[in-house]
Each structure stands twice: as structure tokens, then as C-alpha cells.
Structure 1
Amino acid sequence: MTQLFPRATLKKIIKSHYNKALTKNVDVMIYLDYILFLQRLAEEANAEASQGINEKKIEERHIVAALERILQEFQG
């Protein structure tokens, strides 16, 4: 099985920001949350681009418009 992300590196990053003990699979949960965030952002940016007339590409402005909505969902 291929490794999707470097677990040791991610754990080091998390530990450097939070001086607390981590559970065994906390890095996996953070990675999955990150992937869900990116997927939702891509979907919202696509929807934003679809609202425009003759929009065939997702541009930075579509991502920025979708970003604030998505960040509100993932904050809580």
C-alpha cells in the first residue's frame, strides 16, 4: 500500500504547534479533514464559476468567493 502523506512529518508539525500529547491516529484525522476541506472548496468554486455566463474555467476570484463560505463551515 502506498503512503498518501508523510505521517511522521505531519506529526512533527502538529507537535510543534501544540505542546500536548497526541493520540495514535490524530494525524490521519487532520489529513482527512484537510482533504474534505479542499474537496468542498473545489465544489464551491466550480459552482461559483458555473453561475457566470460562458465561464469555462475556475479562476482565482471563484476560489476567493467560495473560500469565506467554506471557512465558516469548517471553523466550528
Structure 2
Amino acid sequence: MVYKVLYQEDSLEIPVREHTKSLYIEASSEREVRQLLKEKNINIELIQLLDEAHLAYEQQSEFFRVVND
């Protein structure tokens, strides 16, 4: 399953829409996503499981890349 993670680069940064970044990660659950990202110093705003239609839409972006940490 592929998850989209919306985050701020600094864990102490207040979420501001213009500074929000996203990454895509393959994992079996949201818990696994959090475990994979816990060593990074980021402020996770949202973890969203992508269904087939949403994943197909996201794959059209030039910035789409699945992270395999």
C-alpha cells in the first residue's frame, strides 16, 4: 500500500500550508509509516492511504516518487 505523508521539515515548525511538503511511502500500515519516519526530524501533519484512483492521479505529477526507507 502507498501512503501520502504531509509534513513540515522541522518538527518544531508550526504547520503553514505554504511550507507543507509531501512524500509517498510504501508500507503495510500507518503505524509502519510512523516507525519508518520516526528517526527523521519532521512534523507529520497527515498520513493518508491512497486508493487506486488517488494513486493514479498522484502518479501523474512530476514530483511523484515512492520512498523506500
Q: TM-score, normalised by structure 1?
A: 0.28
Higher relative contact order (CA 8 A, sep 6+): 2
Structure (1/2) with the larger strand percentage: 2
| Structure (1 or 2) with the larger CA radius of gyration | 1
TM value normalised by structure 2: 0.30
Structure whose residues are more often helix by fraction: 1
